[in-house]
Structure 1
Amino acid sequence: MGQLMGGDPSLLRKINQAAVLRALRAAGRGCSLTDLARTTGLSRPTVEGVLDGLARAGLVVETKAAETRAAQSTAADAAGARRLGRPARRFRFRAEAGRLLGVEVGARRISAVLADLAGRRLGEASRGVPPEASAEERLARIEQAARALLGEAGQGAPAPRAVGVGTPGIVGQDGSVALCTALPGWTGLPLGERLRELFGAPVLVENDANAAVLGERWVGAAAGCDDVVMVLAGLSPGAGSLIGGRLHRGHGGAAGEIGALHLLGRQATPERLLATSGTPIDPLDERAVTRVLAAARAGDPRAGEAVARLVERLTHDVAALVLALDPELVVVGGWAAGLDQVVEPLHRELERYCLRAPRVVASALGGGAVATGAVRLALDHLEAELFTVAEVPD
Structure 2
Amino acid sequence: MAGMNTDLLIQLRQALLFDRLQTIPELSRTLSTSFPTIKKHLDILIEHGEVDEEDSDVSSGGRPAKRYRSRADHTHGLALYLELDAIGYRIFDAVGTLLTNGTESVPRQQPHVPALVCLIHRLLAQDPRITFLSVGVAASVENGQVFFAPDYPSLQQVDLKQTLESEFHLPVVVENDMNAAVIGFHEAYQQRQQSLIYLYLGKNGPGSGILINGQLVRGSSHFAGEISLVPQYDKATFGQRIAERSDVLNADTIDAISRLTTTFAATLNPHLLIFNSAEVTASDLEQIRTTTARYIPETHIPRLVRSNWETDYLNGLTRLGLQLQIEQPIKGTST
* Shift, 1:129, TM fit: 2.0
1:139 alignment partner in structure 2: 113
For residues 19 and 225 of structure 1, the distance between their equivalents in structure 2, rounded to whole angstroms, comes to 20
Q: In the superposition, relative to structure 1, how do residues 133 and 86 fare at CA in structure 2: closer, same or farther (>3 Å)?
A: same
Residues 125 and 149, structure 1, Cα contact 8 Å, conserved in 2: no
TM-score calculated relative to the size of structure 2: 0.79
Please, which of 283, 299, 312 is the counterpart of residue 369 of structure 1? Answer: 312
For residues 327 and 71 of structure 2, the distance between their equivalents in structure 1, rounded to whole angstroms, comes to 17
Q: What per-residue deviation string (whole Å, max 9, x for no partner) do you get for residues 163-212 of structure 1?
A: 2222112212x311112111132211121211222332222222211111
- Residue 330 of structure 2 corresponds to residue 359 of structure 1: no
Bigger radius of gyration: 1
Please, which of 58, 61, 74 is the counterpart of residue 49 of structure 2? Answer: 58
For residues 42 and 252 of structure 2, the distance between their equivalents in structure 1, rounded to whole angstroms, comes to 60
* Shift, 1:342, TM fit: 2.6
Residues 10 and 327, structure 2, Cα contact 8 Å, conserved in 1: no
3-state SS in 2 of match to 1:353: coil
Q: In the superposition, relative to structure 1, how do residues 40 and 249 fare at CA in structure 2: closer, same or farther (>3 Å)?
A: same
For residues 209 and 25 of structure 1, the distance between their equivalents in structure 2, rounded to whole angstroms, comes to 24
For residues 48 and 255 of structure 1, the distance between their equivalents in structure 2, rounded to whole angstroms, comes to 42
For residues 21 and 270 of structure 1, the distance between their equivalents in structure 2, rounded to whole angstroms, comes to 42
Q: What per-residue deviation string (whole Å, max 9, x for no partner) do you get for residues 13-38 of structure 1?
A: 4466456545544696x95xxx4256
* Shift, 1:345, TM fit: 1.5
Residues 111 and 371, structure 1, Cα contact 8 Å, conserved in 2: no
1:246 alignment partner in structure 2: 215
* Shift, 1:352, TM fit: 2.4
For residues 126 and 133 of structure 1, the distance between their equivalents in structure 2, rounded to whole angstroms, comes to 18
3-state SS in 2 of match to 1:259: helix
- Residue 82 of structure 2 corresponds to residue 108 of structure 1: no
**Runs of 5+ unmatched residues, structure 1:** 1-10, 276-288, 297-305, 388-394
For residues 351 and 15 of structure 1, the distance between their equivalents in structure 2, rounded to whole angstroms, comes to 49
2:101 alignment partner in structure 1: 124
Matched ranges for 1:118-197 at <5 A = 118-130=95-107, 132-135=108-111, 138-147=112-121, 149-150=123-124, 153=127, 157-161=128-132, 163-172=133-142, 174-197=143-166
Q: In the superposition, relative to structure 1, how do residues 197 and 224 fare at CA in structure 2: closer, same or farther (>3 Å)?
A: same
For residues 13 and 271 of structure 1, the distance between their equivalents in structure 2, rounded to whole angstroms, comes to 53
Q: In the superposition, relative to structure 1, how do residues 121 and 386 fare at CA in structure 2: closer, same or farther (>3 Å)?
A: farther
- Residue 224 of structure 2 corresponds to residue 224 of structure 1: no
For residues 86 and 314 of structure 2, the distance between their equivalents in structure 1, rounded to whole angstroms, comes to 12
Q: In the superposition, relative to structure 1, how do residues 125 and 89 fare at CA in structure 2: closer, same or farther (>3 Å)?
A: same
TM-score calculated relative to the size of structure 1: 0.69
1:285 alignment partner in structure 2: none
1:300 alignment partner in structure 2: none
| AA aligned opposite 2:24 | L
More strand per residue: 1 or 2? 2
For residues 375 and 58 of structure 1, the distance between their equivalents in structure 2, rounded to whole angstroms, comes to 21
| AA aligned opposite 1:347 | R
Residues 276 and 306, structure 2, Cα contact 8 Å, conserved in 1: yes
Question: 252-261 or 37-46, which moves further after superposition?
Answer: 37-46
3-state SS in 1 of match to 2:80: strand
1:347 alignment partner in structure 2: 289
* Shift, 1:266, TM fit: 3.4
Q: What per-residue deviation string (whole Å, max 9, x for no partner) do you get for residues 301-360 of structure 1?
A: xxxxx53222222223332222211111100127x5555553222222222223411101
For residues 378 and 119 of structure 1, the distance between their equivalents in structure 2, rounded to whole angstroms, comes to 9
1:95 alignment partner in structure 2: 72
Q: In the superposition, relative to structure 1, how do residues 369 and 147 fare at CA in structure 2: closer, same or farther (>3 Å)?
A: farther
* Shift, 1:152, TM fit: 5.3
For residues 272 and 44 of structure 1, the distance between their equivalents in structure 2, rounded to whole angstroms, comes to 60
| AA aligned opposite 2:303 | R
Q: In the superposition, relative to structure 1, how do residues 171 and 44 fare at CA in structure 2: closer, same or farther (>3 Å)?
A: closer
For residues 39 and 89 of structure 2, the distance between their equivalents in structure 1, rounded to whole angstroms, comes to 38
3-state SS in 1 of match to 2:293: helix
For residues 194 and 273 of structure 2, the distance between their equivalents in structure 1, rounded to whole angstroms, comes to 11
Q: In the superposition, relative to structure 1, how do residues 198 and 92 fare at CA in structure 2: closer, same or farther (>3 Å)?
A: same
Residues 197 and 272, structure 2, Cα contact 8 Å, conserved in 1: yes
Q: In the superposition, relative to structure 1, how do residues 319 and 199 fare at CA in structure 2: closer, same or farther (>3 Å)?
A: farther
Q: In the superposition, relative to structure 1, how do residues 259 and 246 fare at CA in structure 2: closer, same or farther (>3 Å)?
A: same
Question: 188-197 or 87-96, which moves further after superposition?
Answer: 87-96
For residues 145 and 184 of structure 1, the distance between their equivalents in structure 2, rounded to whole angstroms, comes to 20
Q: In the superposition, relative to structure 1, how do residues 85 and 126 fare at CA in structure 2: closer, same or farther (>3 Å)?
A: same
Identity %: 25
Q: In the superposition, relative to structure 1, how do residues 346 and 160 fare at CA in structure 2: closer, same or farther (>3 Å)?
A: farther
For residues 136 and 153 of structure 2, the distance between their equivalents in structure 1, rounded to whole angstroms, comes to 16
2:230 alignment partner in structure 1: 261
* Shift, 1:386, TM fit: 7.4
